Chains A and B, each alone.
Chain A
Amino acid sequence: MSEVAIASRIPLEEYAALLGEGEIDELRVLAKPLRGRSIEMINSTAVGGGVAEILNRLLPLAEELELNMRWEVMTGGDDFYGVTKAFHNALHGAPYHADPKDFEIFLACNERNRARLPLDAEFMIIHDPQPAALIDGRKKNGNHWAWRCHIDLSHPNRAVWDFLDKFVARYDAAMFSSPEFSRALPIPQYLFYPAIDPLSEKNRELESGFVARTLAQYQIDPLRPILTQISRFDRLKDPIGVIRAYRIVKRYFDCQLVLAGGSASDDPEGAAVLKEVVQEANGEADIHIIELPAWAPLEVNALQRASTIVIQKSLREGFGLTVSEALWKKKPVVASAVGGIPVQIIHKHTGLLSHSVEGAAYQIRYLLSHPEIAAKLGENGYEHVKENFLITQKLKRYMTLLLAMERAN
């Protein structure tokens, strides 16, 4: 395990300017009884992926509130990460043939990490399945352990879940991104949402010149409607379905489609999907397929801000934080009713939900025909994110959990 470097601190006053002094004072009130007490977050990667991105923003904020929060990253060999990748896919419902050797590799790696770590913080927050077996190292000092699961466990592979269940059941609490993902467990289960940082590069205000330059760079016409889906090139994000929905819309509106996602160069499956997408687009000039670098927050921000409508037509989704990113920018969103998306898109209030290619196309046409309704959805969506999906709310939720766990004992 190794401690990680975290993003630089942003003064609380900057959040107060955005959210109101009272909201920040409330965080101070909740932080007060937790000051000086140790809180440790453990996950399996320092960079890449939503969990690392959130922790990277959460810790500086916790520091601003004088909380003693640390973040450590689990280490393991290729064999361990090969097994946990297979577990991850199996927990999402992909076919998996249980091999006892996989479970041995998983346990051995957890044991090695257990031996190296004190695991004695008063509050231990363990993220996702990889480090779940660290609970075996629980001290008899009465510290509190919570397991935060960021993945969709609605249809898990039985063998993998039965194996993990034995560990998870020994925590004091478990947290899931949607009620649908929760399991039959003997411990309290809470709803915890991922969050965005309004002051990060991906979400902060941009100068209009930068947005215009980004559009020019990718030869996107700023004068015609822009439909955008920001997602890695993954079949579960249904990029082909997005193109088909766009083609239906195109019969009625002279619009453009932007499909932008992280680089597929180091991901064989991503590269294959990108190829399929390019094939489906068939060189159509108004379909812009943009392969972004792995970390391109400003470009993502600019593309979202330039969009007329943001689409998230996933077939399955953990939470789909790109939806919150778009809503924060007051964009009308048309998204599939899967995973954590309906929590963010309250149908007809903060966006429109769809269940098919045709449904998505219809909702997009409706919003293009009624820009005043699109604007209202965007405004409501912004307020929804402000109230529920910002990093400040996330920290508030964590502090509430810690206080609740303490009181429960």
Chain B
Amino acid sequence: METAETPFEFFTVSYLTRIGNQSACTLTEFLTGLQQCSDASIFHHTFQTLSSHHFLTEGFSNDFAQWAHADANREDLAEQLAALDVRDYLSIAALRSDLCRVVGDYCAAHPALAGQSALERFYFCESVEVTLPFGLTARTLEEFRKGIAHLSHASFYFHFISSRLRLQLQTNDFSHWLADGLGLGALADSVNHIDIYTNTLDSARAQVLRLIDGEERKG
């Protein structure tokens, strides 16, 4: 059995939601908020909300899209915001830029709607992160599988979704280690292609485990 020189260390993460001092009632205010809020706020309403709402696999993508849909009643804008996939972004700056572009273009195209009040305000919040070692490490594929099967949702999310920002690569912690640590490039790619928007964290994890099982059967 292949043994990695550098072990995979499992971590867990816990988030507090810090309430910011910005809110928006109209699309114009919403755009200003998107331009001015902190990076931690963009992270909170896109990456982090995917973890806390992972069980919603039909039509929920991020808090911004949900507000445009449910409170601002702008379905077309909501669809455009929901279509932004966090996996395409290696930095918060790039994600913010696209969010602002989508909302800015919409406001420019519909000036009469930009000033209309939404049913409820949007409050810009931030994620405050505390990470700790989960107390598990893996050097082999078998140990790695065992670790993934045992993780909490938050820990799975930390390695599988938010890791992209940390790695600054179009990949996740699991795929990164499978490729670099065990030399399993094809498995790493398959894991990286699991759709996190149409899966819950549980079903995404089940897919990762199935892919590993397939690899083990080959070996």
Contact check: which of B54, B56, B119 meets A349 at CB < 8 Å? B56
User: In the docked arrangement, what's the CA distance between A350 and B56, Å?
Assistant: 9
Nearest residue in A to B121 (C-beta to C-beta)? A180
Contact check: which of B16, B53, B151 meets A397 at CB < 8 Å? B16
Q: How many CB-defined contacts (below 8 Å) exist between A and B?
A: 99
Contact in complex: A29, B133 (CB < 8 Å) = yes
Give chain A interface residues in 179-225, CB to chain B under 8 Å.
179-180, 182, 184, 188-191
Give chain A interface residues in 273-298, CB to chain B under 8 Å.
none
Provide the residues of chain B in CB contact with A401, threshold 8 Å: 16
Query: In whole Å, how far is A269's beta carbon from the nearest beta carbon of chain B?
Result: 29
Nearest residue in B to A397 (C-beta to C-beta)? B16
Contact in complex: A20, B152 (CB < 8 Å) = yes
Contact in complex: B119, A337 (CB < 8 Å) = yes
Task: From known contacts A380-B55, A401-B16, infer whether A26 and B21 are also in contact, taking CB-CB under 8 Å.
Answer: no
User: In the docked arrangement, what's the CA distance between A16 and B110, Å?
Assistant: 51
Contact check: which of A188, A353, A388, A403 meets B18 at CB < 8 Å? A188
Say yes or no for B218: interface residue by CB 8 A criterion.
no
Say yes or no for A30: interface residue by CB 8 A criterion.
yes
Query: In whole Å, how far is A339's beta carbon from the nearest beta carbon of chain B?
Result: 11
Provide the residues of chain A in CB contact with B21, threshold 8 Å: 184
Contact in complex: B18, A26 (CB < 8 Å) = no
Q: What is the interface of chain A mostly: helix, strand, loop, or mixed?
A: helix
Contact in complex: B14, A182 (CB < 8 Å) = no
Say yes or no for A347: interface residue by CB 8 A criterion.
yes
Nearest residue in B to A408 (C-beta to C-beta)? B128
Provide the residues of chain B in CB contact with A347, threshold 8 Å: 70
Provide the residues of chain A in CB contact with B12, threshold 8 Å: 26, 29-30
Give chain A interface residues in 148-188, CB to chain B under 8 Å.
176, 179-180, 182, 184, 188
Contact in complex: B125, A179 (CB < 8 Å) = yes
User: In the docked arrangement, what's the CA distance between A350 and B55, Å?
Assistant: 10
Contact check: which of B15, B55, B135 meets A384 at CB < 8 Å? B55
Contact in complex: A355, B119 (CB < 8 Å) = yes
Contact check: which of A22, A30, A176, A353 meets B19 at CB < 8 Å? A176
Provide the residues of chain B in CB contact with A188, threshold 8 Å: 18, 128
Say yes or no for A25: interface residue by CB 8 A criterion.
yes
Provide the residues of chain A in CB contact with B15, threshold 8 Å: 400
Residue tally, chain B, CB below 8 Å to A: 37
Contact in complex: B123, A383 (CB < 8 Å) = no
Give chain A interface residues in 316-366, CB to chain B under 8 Å.
337, 342, 346-350, 353, 355
Task: From known contacts A22-B150, A337-B120, infer whether A387 and B55 are also in contact, taking CB-CB under 8 Å.
Answer: yes
Contact in complex: A26, B19 (CB < 8 Å) = no
Query: In whole Å, how far is A373's beta carbon from the nearest beta carbon of chain B?
Result: 11
Contact in complex: A30, B150 (CB < 8 Å) = no
Give chain A interface residues in 240-283, CB to chain B under 8 Å.
none
Contact in complex: A403, B130 (CB < 8 Å) = yes
Say yes or no for B66: interface residue by CB 8 A criterion.
yes
Say yes or no for A21: interface residue by CB 8 A criterion.
yes
Known: A26-B152, A400-B15. 20 other contacts (CB 8 A): A22-B150, A22-B152, A22-B153, A26-B14, A29-B133, A30-B12, A179-B125, A189-B19, A190-B18, A191-B16, A191-B18, A337-B119, A337-B120, A347-B70, A349-B53, A349-B58, A350-B56, A387-B53, A396-B14, A403-B130
